[in-house]
Amino acid sequence: MRRSAMFIFISLLLCIAILQGCTDSTNKELVTGDVIFEDFDYTTLPSHWTITNRNDIFWSLTTNPGFLTIITQPADVHETANNPVNFFLREIPYENYQFTARIEIFPERDFEQAGILIWENEDNYIRLGRVHAFDAQAIEAAVEVATAYTTVIENIDPITEVYLRLINLNNQVSYYYSADGEEWIEVGNRTWVNYSKPIIGLYAISPVSDRAIEAKFDYIQVEELKWEAVE
């Protein structure tokens, strides 16, 4: 890698979590552009959402008003076990972005989980979940590439409310979570992706316990990130 390219790369790494005051070697600054905010404060799902393997018995916009509620089912997209029941997907108009969601779930058996996605298809995706894994409460940062699943699981305190965030900047994705929406902790390994369209998603599953438990999605926010010339 040429020195200037390396400098830009290192600059990106340094400022990916701190979205103000970042400049690169061409004197550009990373700023927030347009914002998509959806708080699920409606009773009819907008048409920009698609639902995979849709089963209307197990999701609702009215059970908990102001939330998208998904009832976990024995579903998953782990490696070749593809059965994504009620994964909510939507395309976004941004190349670089920060995707945040506030979720309430308390998983109590292994692999019960809810989380957020960056999606190409069932075998190529980024997944960040609030999960019960190996007898512990955890956050899981995962990526699947052509059915090969790679994961980092970090144990956390037994919280019900969680904020999850994925940042996609120049095709490098980083994973964060927060208990309060203010203090963010990076998890997992930053991952390179090159998907055909920017598609984000929400999911809640119970692939081993098969239990039906409630995952409440309070809102999503997607902030466009862009480089702007410094005056």
Smallest distance, Ca ion to C-beta of residue 42, A? 31
| Residue 83 vs 189, nearer CB to Ca ion | 83
Q: End-to-end CA distance of the chain: give it in Å, rounded.
A: 29
Residues of this chain that bind Ca ion (CB under 5 A): 77, 82, 122-123
Instruction: Identify the three-state secondary structure at position 50.
Output: strand
| Residue 77 vs 143, nearer CB to Ca ion | 77
Smallest distance, Ca ion to C-beta of residue 187, A? 21
Alpha-carbon gap, residue 203 to 82, rounded angstroms: 13
User: Nearest-CA neighbor of 144 among 84, 104, 86?
Assistant: 84
Smallest distance, Ca ion to C-beta of residue 115, A? 15
Alpha-carbon gap, residue 76 to 109, rounded angstroms: 15
| Residue 77 vs 139, nearer CB to Ca ion | 77
Smallest distance, Ca ion to C-beta of residue 4, A? 38
| Residue 82 vs 209, nearer CB to Ca ion | 82
Q: What is the DSSP letter of 79?
A: T
